[in-house]
């Protein structure tokens, strides 16, 4: 973050508001789109766009032209945007929130303003309570009922309704498997979940079948389904008993690739793809690619869809309009790391601290996964509530590791530790103990509320420590529960790159830490990653799958992830 300048999030929010209000006012559609695109670009940019705009260099970003740059620079230097202030005097800014309610939109928000005097959510509540919505154009009794239900639901549970990847992915696969079993159709998870997003709003499924209606009927009839939300011949949306919204689309097998590509998105990726096709005089949709003569090209698989457009197949995790289409055109896509590339897991727990499986059980599970090595990394003593080990118990644990090793072939058991980074920056073990360990992961588990300089100093001290090999869950965030602690990311990345200290991508469903954006920055800074399960049970070793998805979204190749190496090379 650059001192005194508005952050990218704030800049993007202002431009989004401008887009929303212009849309309600009835501005030309593509002008609205330009504001939204510019805002999305700013949000996804790792540097300070305000600083770039002041220097006249924001126009070098795609989707940012002279006009948007001027507005960002004005915001950076004066703290306001004159055009936005004038717009707010014509269109009450609270209407933007009203327009985002399900079932409403810019046109109905405007009608509510002009015909019922609604200027925001509170005004809408009053108008509803007083029955003043009858007669407003485009708003009938069903919309009124839906609005009342929505506002009541918000009062009851204001928490965000996003499901974390680690919960949504297994749930989605359960639905897909049940549907496949019931119909014999091929069913695939698509949408943001397939792209590895760490939180998702809903689950998209794509099914290949010559009898689509039977598949739609089958979904509505599954025991997992609580409520059918929409029903049509081509699209069904349901809510499962565990609260997940699931949307199904179907296609005959010969154009399943077109459907899967369409449903996987992202929206921005698909827009770019369609623009590319349009320049070639063709049109892309889930039904196929139509050329100027009206001929339709379809494909049973996604690779055929991309090939038709002159592109390499693009891994779903990269489909975010970050330059992947150009890379695919030029054959420059990275070969992303895969779960099968991992040679071992260096962050796992056993019954010696807060794990539920013995070292022997964890070793057997690691062997079953085909690992070459397993780091047994129980907590250190300061984490008393997790049964952290003091040096004496640690030494006795080493004896057990040696005993178990005798009965296990194929997997090398490593003396590892997840050692606490104490509040003052010291580590929870002496250097002598640390030196005897094969692998040391240092983690922050306490004093999260320290000021950013203190947290930064703790992380830097651990990174600079000669016996520390990796930093565990580097930001401390818990998905949907708490933000990570604040620290100076650039300094931490610089130090990690310089000292060769790995940063972890922790695959625990509640963590996913680093996240994809930070992992990408780490790679750009020259930092090597490590993908870990942080398993506290044998089944949880599978959490590396979540971590690999995050690493792939960051663009990581196998060589960017340390634990794709054999142990001797990694140790050295």
Residues of this chain that interact with DNA (CB under 7 A) are 28, 30-31, 33-35, 37-38, 59, 62-69, 83, 99, 101-109, 137-144, 146, 191, 201-202, 204, 230-235, 247, 270-271, 274-275, 277-281, 283-287, 290
**Cβ atoms within 10 Å, residue 161:** 14
Tell me how far, at minimum, the Cβ of 318 lies from DNA, in Å: 19
Tokens 């590396």 -> residue: 544
Determine how β-strand 203-208 pairs with β-strand 245-251.
parallel
**Residue 524 token pair:** 């750009």
C-beta closer to DNA: residue 204 or 324: 204
Q: Under a CB-based contact definition with an 8 Å cutoff, are residues 14 and 75 in contact?
A: yes
* Residue number, 138 or 500, with CB nearest to DNA: 138
Which residues lie below 8 Å from residue 540, measured CB to CB, with a gap of 6+? 508, 533, 534
Other CB atoms within 10 Å distance of the CB of residue 82: 11
User: What is the C-alpha to C-alpha distance for residues 380 and 353, in angstroms, rounded to an integer?
Assistant: 8
Least CB distance from residue 277 to DNA, whole Å? 7
- Judged by beta carbon, residue 190 or residue 522, the one nearer DNA is 190
CB of 82 to DNA, least distance (A): 12
Q: Is 303 exposed, middle or buried (0-12, 13-18, 19+ CB in 10 A)?
A: middle
Shortest reach from residue 237's CB to DNA, in Å: 8
Minimum distance from residue 128 beta carbon to DNA (Å):
13
Lookup result for tokens 């060589």:
559
Residue appearing with tokens 């300061």: 382
Closer to DNA by CB, 68 or 489: give it.
68
- The answer to whether the Cα torsion of 231, 236, 237, 239 is positive or negative is positive
Cβ at position 332, least distance to DNA in Å: 15
Smallest gap, in angstroms, from Cβ of residue 64 to DNA? Answer: 5
Q: Which helix (H) or strand (E) holds 505?
A: strand 502-506
Q: Which is nearer to DNA, 190 or 460 (CB)?
A: 190
Cβ distance to DNA smaller for residue 55 or 66: 66
What DSSP string describes 238-267? EEETTS-EEEEEEE-GGGHHHHHHHHH--H
Sign of the alpha-carbon torsion through 25, 31, 33, 39 = negative
Comparison of 283 and 446: residue with beta carbon closer to DNA: 283
Enter the DSSP assignment of 463.
Answer: H
Q: State how far Cα 205 lies from the chain centre.
A: 18
**Taking the complex as a whole, how short is the minimal distance between the CB of residue 69 and DNA, in angstroms?**
7
In the complex with DNA, which residue's Cβ is closer, 118 or 389?
Answer: 118
What distances in angstroms separate CA 359 from CA 355, 395, 400, 437, 521, one per listed residue? 9, 14, 8, 16, 35
Q: 274 or 491: whose CB is closer to DNA? A: 274
Least Cβ distance, residue 293 to DNA (angstroms)? 15
For 330-366, b/e burial (b = at least 16 CB within 10 A) is eeebbebbeeebbbbbbbbbbbbbebebebbbbbbbb
Q: Which is nearer to DNA, 205 or 442 (CB)?
A: 205
Give the separation between CA 53 and CA 2, rounded to whole angstroms. 13
Shortest reach from residue 188's CB to DNA, in Å = 15
Distance of closest approach, residue 515 Cβ to DNA, in angstroms: 23
Rounded CA-CA distance 372/328 in Å is 34
- Which residues, other chains included, contact 352 with Cβ-Cβ below 8 Å and sequence gap of 6+? 359, 376, 378, 387, 389, 393, 397, 400
In terms of Cβ atoms closer than 10 Å to its own Cβ (0-12, 13-18, 19+), residue 516 is buried
Instruction: Give least dist CB 210 to DNA, A.
Output: 17
Q: Which of 413, 409, 437, 436 is nearest to 362 (CA)?
A: 413
**By C-beta, is 103 or 568 nearer to DNA?**
103
Name the residue nearer to DNA (CB basis): 252 or 542.
252
């Amino acid at each position: 973050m650059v001192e005194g300048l508005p952050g990218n999030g704030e800049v993007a929010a202002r431009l989004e508001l401008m887009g929303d209000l212009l849309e309600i006012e009835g501005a030309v559609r593509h002008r609205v789109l330009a504001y939204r695109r510019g805002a999305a670009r700013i949000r996804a940019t790792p540097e300070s766009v305000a600083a770039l705009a002041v220097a006249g260099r924001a126009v070098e970003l795609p989707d940012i032209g002279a006009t948007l740059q001027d507005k960002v620079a004005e915001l950076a230097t004066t703290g306001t945007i004159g055009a936005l202030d004038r717009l707010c005097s014509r269109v009450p800014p609270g209407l933007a929130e009203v327009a985002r309610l399900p079932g409403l939109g810019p046109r109905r928000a405007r009608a509510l303003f002009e015909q019922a005097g609604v200027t925001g959510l509170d005004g809408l509540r009053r108008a509803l309570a007083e029955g003043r919505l009858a007669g407003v154009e485009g708003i009938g009794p069903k919309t009124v009922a839906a609005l009342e239900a929505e506002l009541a639901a918000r009062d009851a549970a204001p928490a965000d309704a996003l499901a974390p990847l680690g919960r949504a992915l297994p749930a989605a696969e359960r639905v897909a498997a049940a549907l496949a079993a019931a119909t014999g159709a091929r069913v695939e998870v698509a949408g943001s979940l397939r792209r590895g997003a760490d939180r998702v709003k809903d689950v998209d499924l794509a099914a290949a079948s010559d009898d689509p209606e039977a598949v739609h009927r089958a979904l509505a009839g599954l025991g997992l389904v609580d409520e059918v939300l929409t029903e049509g011949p081509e699209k069904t949306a349901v809510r499962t008993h565990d609260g997940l919204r699931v949307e199904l689309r179907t296609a005959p097998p010969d154009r399943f690739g077109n459907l899967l590509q369409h449903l996987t998105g992202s929206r921005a990726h698909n827009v770019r793809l369609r623009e590319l096709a349009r320049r070639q005089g063709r049109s892309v949709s889930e039904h196929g690619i139509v050329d100027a003569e009206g001929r339709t090209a379809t494909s049973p698989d996604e690779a055929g869809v991309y090939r038709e457009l002159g592109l390499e197949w693009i891994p779903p995790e990269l489909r975010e309009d970050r330059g992947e289409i150009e890379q695919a055109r030029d054959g420059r896509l990275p070969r992303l790391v895969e779960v099968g590339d991992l040679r071992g897991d260096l962050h796992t727990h056993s019954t010696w601290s807060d794990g539920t499986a013995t070292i022997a059980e964890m070793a057997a599970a690691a062997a079953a996964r085909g690992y070459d090595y397993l780091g047994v990394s129980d907590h250190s003593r300061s984490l008393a509530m997790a049964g952290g080990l003091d040096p004496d118990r640690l030494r006795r644990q080493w004896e057990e590791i040696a005993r178990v090793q005798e009965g296990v072939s194929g997997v090398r058991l490593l003396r590892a530790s997840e050692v606490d980074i104490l509040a003052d920056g010291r580590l929870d073990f002496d250097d002598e103990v640390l030196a005897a360990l094969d692998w040391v992961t240092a983690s922050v588990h306490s004093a999260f509320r320290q000021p950013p300089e203190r947290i930064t100093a703790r992380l830097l001290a651990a990174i600079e420590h000669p016996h520390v090999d990796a930093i565990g869950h580097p930001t401390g965030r818990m998905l949907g529960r708490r933000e990570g602690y604040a620290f100076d990311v650039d300094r931490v990345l610089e130090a990690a790159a310089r000292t060769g200290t790995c940063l972890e991508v922790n695959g625990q469903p509640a963590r996913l830490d680093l996240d994809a954006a930070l992992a990408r920055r780490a790679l750009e800074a020259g930092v090597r990653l490590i993908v870990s399960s942080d398993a506290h049970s044998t089944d949880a070793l599978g959490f590396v799958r979540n971590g690999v998805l995050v690493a792939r979204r960051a663009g990581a190749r196998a060589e960017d992830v340390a634990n794709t190496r054999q142990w001797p090379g990694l140790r050295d």
